[in-house]
Amino acid sequence: MNPYQKGNQAYKKAAVTTQDQATLILMLYDGAIRFLKTALVKLEKKDLEQTHVHIVKAKDIVSELMASLKVEQAGEIGQNLHRLYGYIFNRLIDANIQKNQAFIEESIELLDELRLGWQGLINQRKNQVIPQTRSEAKTVKVEG
């Protein structure tokens, strides 16, 4: 491994370990969507082995999302999200067995919708912090 690759991996690891939970979830969605889009390309090229590999990677991410979800704390929303993750997970199993493009596309659409929701949550949090910071900045007096 060349120094650039080592540095790039170290940067990625540091980026992941310093993100808040919502951003990490967003990154998981991005990864699953990216793997599924790659699976579609591989399926189109009739590369069934790589199609399988990329669907499994996306399925593993969905499994991680399910496992990390605190259903009891999240209430009804958490239960619905858990069911949706389960549906996507099962759809990916079917997509992998049948090499079904429509199932992969459906999973991408669902994950993309969930990603948009999390992105909205992150944006909302940022908007809540910015006005508070601005008001604090106004109260600071600069003496010259």
- Structural domain including 104 reads 3-115
Residue 98 lies in a domain: yes
Residue 16 has pLDDT above 60, yes or no: no
Question: Among 114, 110, 118, 111, which residue's Cα sits nearest to residue 22?
Answer: 118
Question: Among 70, 69, 79, 37, which residue's Cα sits nearest to residue 54?
Answer: 37
Q: Which residue in this structure is represented by tokens 């399925």?
A: 59
Residues 55-93: tens digit of each pLDDT? 999 999 999 999 988 878 878 888 999 999 999 999 999
Q: Rounded to an integer, what distance in angstroms lies between the CA atom of residue 125 and that of residue 119?
A: 10
Residue 131 lies in a domain: no
**What CATH number should be reported for the domain holding residue 92?**
1.20.120.340
Residue 130 lies in a domain: no
Residue 121 lies in a domain: no
Ranked by mean pLDDT, the top range of 10-24, 59-73, 96-110 is 96-110
Residues 40-51: tens digit of each pLDDT? 999 999 999 999
